[in-house]
Amino acid sequence: MIEPDLSENSIRILEARYLKKDPDGNLIETPKDMFLRVANNIAEANAIYDEPVDKTAEEFYEMMAKLEFLPNSPTLMNADNDLQQLSACFVLPVEDSMDGIFDAIKNSALIHKSGGGTGFSFSRIRPKNDIVKTTGGVASGPISFMRIFDEATNTVKQGGKRRGANMGVMRVDHPDIRDFITSKEDEDQLNNFNISVAITEDFMEAYQNNEKYELINPRTGKITGLEDASEIFNLIVEMAHKNGEPGIIFLDKINEENPTPEIGEIESTNPCGEQPLLPFEACNLGSINLSKMTEGPIGEAEINYDKLAETVKKAVHFLDNVIDMSEFPLDKITEMVQGNRKIGLGVMGYSDMLLKLGLAYNSQEAVETAENIMGFINKKAREASHKLAKRRGPFPNFEKSIYEKEYRNATTTTIAPTGSISIIAGTSSGIEPLFALAYERHVIDETLVELHPIFAQIAEERGIMNDELKEKLASQSSIQKIDEIPDDLKEIFVTSHDITPEWHIKTQAAFQKYVDNAVSKTINFKNNASKNDVKEAYELAYKLDCKGITIYRDGSRSGQVLTTKSSD
Ligand code: ADP
């Protein structure tokens, strides 16, 4: 049995948050034990279908121990543990009533306790100053209720393992939309929320034609007034330019691809935006490490499609089993999850893979590679889901779905941020470019310093590595102005700030083209980017059929997750 080969950072994060501990806080398992625990637990689902368990457990163990595939954190933390709640993504409905609102708060607390993140649409809550019949008073409005969700999240804190994360969505035609857009202008507000404005096609039409659009009270369905679409668009841009919030999601586009419109309408995504879900639906994610899917020397490697196909097949099997092994805090969630059986297979290590292939992130060749590779993964994932459907039956809501061909899962692919699991795998996160070649990463209370391993290896081989260079690398986020680095390396080792927002968006769109769900991606801007740059990025994301966009202007928020010692 192979031993996992883990970096120091990986071991540190596993020990802090993933490995089992006794009541006194002493570790009682090794990383190898953890992978075995997860593999054995997830393979057990085979027994439901009279399929052999042991060989599958070995396969699952091997692909995790080799860091070729990892499931989302809750699966690693909770499989065969007290909770057995294995999904990262949830969406809960928020009804326009006291009961409804506080039910949602309670349910989200239960989900946070188990390591899941929750998304909500606040669009159904009546606007502030609207009437409240039972008390004869006036309504306080969705934003004031969001603050209670935020406070509840603060209090739960998930036993120190995960802080708790929420997505708050509001339709652009809600009468309180201005308050919503500016609700995070003050950085101390709604810290446990990412917020996104749900943009409709009607709104985009009004924006493009420089017209007004209608605001609608969700309680009565009546028009309450008109807003200037450009003004609202500009307000979103202004706030996002200021500190990255709100993001936007293209809600009608998302619903166009809703695989089960008869079961319900999609109104929100999970916290990081990659997983649109129906109310009470959950989804488990898993990511293939693309940097392990190449063969050949660094700079001239090629993609090993046979290995990738094999890994996709096993990963789909794994994620489908996760559904059967999961226990959820609410029966309604269990019912929704088992009805649609959504899974979200994605990738991490995309940028590291490009370095191995010798391709610059900001090149047409890279974007084409992204399309090819994700097209291949999506096709193989669908094939695997189809084969599972033949063996295990299609997902129960299949008859009410948009599909003609039988699948085991209503969706198969999602690009997750892989914030933690990419550290465990020792690779670049999701489909993001490198942030720097040496950097500090803040995780919970710890600061980790990392030198990029592929660059380190090449620099050694080329004989340019020395202490002076290391110091320079640690002090700036780009190598473009370091004289001793040869031009051919400068071309390939581009970091997020060398890459224009346009290439970031083209990359997101390339993946989105072949992803059933959505793509987690931050579109990075330089500190001196203008509001107009942000606006153009939004328009491009819409044009290229992205399902949403999240931007971040360097230095615009005080608590940045990733920082170089000094940003150039
Ligand atoms: P990981 O690498 O830990 O598996 P990701 O960074 O890929 O997780 O995030 C995937 C999803 O997991 C997020 O969109 C969100 O739904 C959930 N999630 C991530 N971090 C948290 C957190 N601190 N609390 C709750 N949910 C989280």
ipTM: 0.93
pLDDT at residue 563 in the model: 44
Cis peptide before 246 (omega within 30 of 0): yes
- Residue 219: phi and psi, rounded to 5, are -70, -40
Alpha-helix runs per DSSP H in 79-194 = 98-113, 142-156, 177-181
Residues 490, 519 within the same domain: no
Query: Which two structure tokens, joined as six digits, stand for 159?
Result: 């036993």
Does ligand 1 lie within 6 Å of residue 87's CB atom? Answer: no
Does ligand 1 lie within 6 Å of residue 72's CB atom? Answer: yes
Question: Global pTM?
Answer: 0.95
Most ligand 1 atoms within 8 A of CB, residue of 85, 162, 163, 428 to mutate: 162
Does ligand 1 lie within 6 Å of residue 515's CB atom? Answer: no
Choosing from 68, 245, 267, 274, which is the catalytic residue? 274
Average pLDDT, stretch 141-166?
87
The DSSP bridge partners found for residue 167 are 119, 194
Cα torsion through 414, 418, 421, 423, rounded to 10: 150
- The answer to whether the CB of 142 falls within 8 A of the CB of 177 is no
pLDDT at residue 86 in the model: 97
Active site residue 274: yes
Convert the pLDDT of each residue in 503-530 to its tens digit: 999 999 999 999 999 999 999 999 999 9
What is the atom index within ligand 1 of the atom nearest the CA of 423?
Answer: 2
Does ligand 1 lie within 6 Å of residue 273's CB atom? Answer: no
Three-state DSSP state, 55: helix
Residues 126, 28 within the same domain: no
Q: HSE (CB half, 13 Å, CA atoms) of 23?
A: 0
Residues 384, 397 within the same domain: yes
Distance CA 166, CA 158 (A): 13
What is the atom index within ligand 1 of the atom nearest the CA of 420?
Answer: 2
Could you tell me the distance, in angstroms and rounded to a whole number, from the CA of residue 262 to the centre of ligand 1?
29
Choosing from 40, 270, 289, 409, which is the catalytic residue? 270
Distances (CA, A) of 357 to 303, 352, 415, 438: 8, 9, 21, 21
Instruction: Give the residue, by CA position, lying nearest to ligand 1 atom 19.
Output: 117
The single residue listed with the structure tokens 């390591």 is 115
Residues 313, 414 within the same domain: yes
Does ligand 1 lie within 6 Å of residue 196's CB atom? Answer: no
What is the atom index within ligand 1 of the atom nearest the CA of 119?
Answer: 16
Residues 32, 113 within the same domain: no
Active site residue 214: no
Which of 223, 245, 269 is the endpoint of a domain? 269
Residues 247, 123 within the same domain: yes
Average pLDDT, stretch 184-198?
95
What is the atom index within ligand 1 of the atom nearest the CA of 89?
Answer: 16
Distance CA 490, CA 486 (A): 6
pLDDT at residue 475 in the model: 80
Compare 323 and 157 and report the one with higher pLDDT.
323
What is the atom index within ligand 1 of the atom nearest the CA of 272?
Answer: 14
Residues 233, 138 within the same domain: yes
Examine residue 336 and state whether it is found in any structural domain, yes or no.
yes
Could you tell me the distance, in angstroms and rounded to a whole number, from the CA of residue 81 to the centre of ligand 1?
19
Distance CA 159, CA 115 (A): 9
Does ligand 1 lie within 6 Å of residue 416's CB atom? Answer: yes
Which of 425, 448, 473 is the endpoint of a domain? 425
pLDDT category at 223 given cuts 50, 70, 90 is: very high
Examine residue 275 and state whether it is found in any structural domain, yes or no.
no
Distance CA 298, CA 353 (A): 9
pLDDT at residue 450 in the model: 67
Residues 104, 34 within the same domain: no
Examine residue 108 and state whether it is found in any structural domain, yes or no.
yes
Distance CA 414, CA 349 (A): 15
pLDDT at residue 470 in the model: 80
Could you tell me the distance, in angstroms and rounded to a whole number, from the CA of residue 117 to the centre of ligand 1?
6
Convert the pLDDT of each residue in 368-389 to its tens digit: 999 999 999 999 999 999 999 9
CB atoms within 10 A of CB 530: 12
Which of 447, 462, 494 is the endpoint of a domain? 494
Convert the pLDDT of each residue in 268-321 to its tens digit: 999 999 999 999 999 999 999 999 999 999 999 999 999 999 999 999 999 999
- Average pLDDT along the chain: 94
- H or E segment and range at residue 168: strand 166-171
Convert the pLDDT of each residue in 234-253 to its tens digit: 999 999 999 999 999 999 99
pLDDT surpassing 70 at residue 560: no
- The answer to whether the CB of 441 falls within 8 A of the CB of 476 is no
- H or E segment and range at residue 340: helix 331-340
What is the atom index within ligand 1 of the atom nearest the CA of 73?
Answer: 4
- Residue 337: phi and psi, rounded to 5, are -65, -45
Pick from 108, 227, 504, 222: nearest CA to 512: 504
Overall domain count for the chain: 4
The DSSP bridge partners found for residue 282 are 90
Does ligand 1 lie within 6 Å of residue 89's CB atom? Answer: yes
Residues 395, 314 within the same domain: yes
Could you tell me the distance, in angstroms and rounded to a whole number, from the CA of residue 88 to the centre of ligand 1?
6
Examine residue 175 and state whether it is found in any structural domain, yes or no.
yes
Residues 309, 383 within the same domain: yes
pLDDT at residue 564 in the model: 43
Could you tell me the distance, in angstroms and rounded to a whole number, from the CA of residue 429 to the centre of ligand 1?
12
Query: Which two structure tokens, joined as six digits, stand for 435?
Result: 């942030």
pLDDT surpassing 50 at residue 565: no
Instruction: Give the residue, by CA position, lying nearest to ligand 1 atom 14.
Output: 272
CB atoms within 10 A of CB 150: 18
Examine residue 559 and state whether it is found in any structural domain, yes or no.
no
CATH number of the domain to which 321 belongs: 3.20.70.20
Examine residue 2 and state whether it is found in any structural domain, yes or no.
no
Examine residue 430 and state whether it is found in any structural domain, yes or no.
no
Most ligand 1 atoms within 8 A of CB, residue of 87, 150, 268, 272 to mutate: 272
Does ligand 1 lie within 6 Å of residue 565's CB atom? Answer: no
Does ligand 1 lie within 6 Å of residue 271's CB atom? Answer: yes
Residues 489, 506 within the same domain: no
Examine residue 1 and state whether it is found in any structural domain, yes or no.
no
pLDDT at residue 378 in the model: 98
pLDDT at residue 436 in the model: 86
Residues 481, 459 within the same domain: yes
pLDDT at residue 158 in the model: 54
Active site residue 265: no
Does ligand 1 lie within 6 Å of residue 517's CB atom? Answer: no
Does ligand 1 lie within 6 Å of residue 283's CB atom? Answer: no
Does ligand 1 lie within 6 Å of residue 272's CB atom? Answer: yes
Domain housing 319: 8-81+284-425
Average pLDDT, stretch 468-489?
87
Does ligand 1 lie within 6 Å of residue 163's CB atom? Answer: yes
